[in-house]
């Protein structure tokens, strides 16, 4: 099918470690760190510090943010 790379977005801060581990395990998977709008209550200044740390130390972190194209509401 020609797919060579995948971006794995986080939707919650509790997923940050999991998506990092997946990106390190598979060469074709990259990480995006962010919070889904439904998880906005998790957001804090400490969240930004943790995201900055993941972006700085994970060479496969390529994006910050979660697009959240939900049409449920």
Residues in CB range of 36: below 8 A, 6 or more apart:
11, 12, 66, 68, 70
C-beta of residue 35 within 8 angstroms of C-beta of residue 9 = no
Kind and range of the H or E run holding 24: helix 16-25
Low-confidence ranges of the chain (pLDDT < 70): 66-70, 72-73
pTM given for the model? 0.80
- Check residue 68 and give its pLDDT: 61
């Amino acid at each position: 099918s020609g797919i060579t790379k995948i971006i794995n977005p986080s939707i919650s801060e509790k997923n940050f470690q999991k998506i990092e581990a997946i990106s390190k395990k598979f060469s074709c998977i990259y990480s995006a760190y962010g919070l889904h709008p439904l998880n906005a209550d998790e957001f804090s200044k400490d969240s930004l510090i943790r995201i900055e740390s993941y972006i700085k130390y994970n060479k496969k972190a390529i994006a910050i943010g979660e697009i959240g194209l939900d049409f449920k509401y």
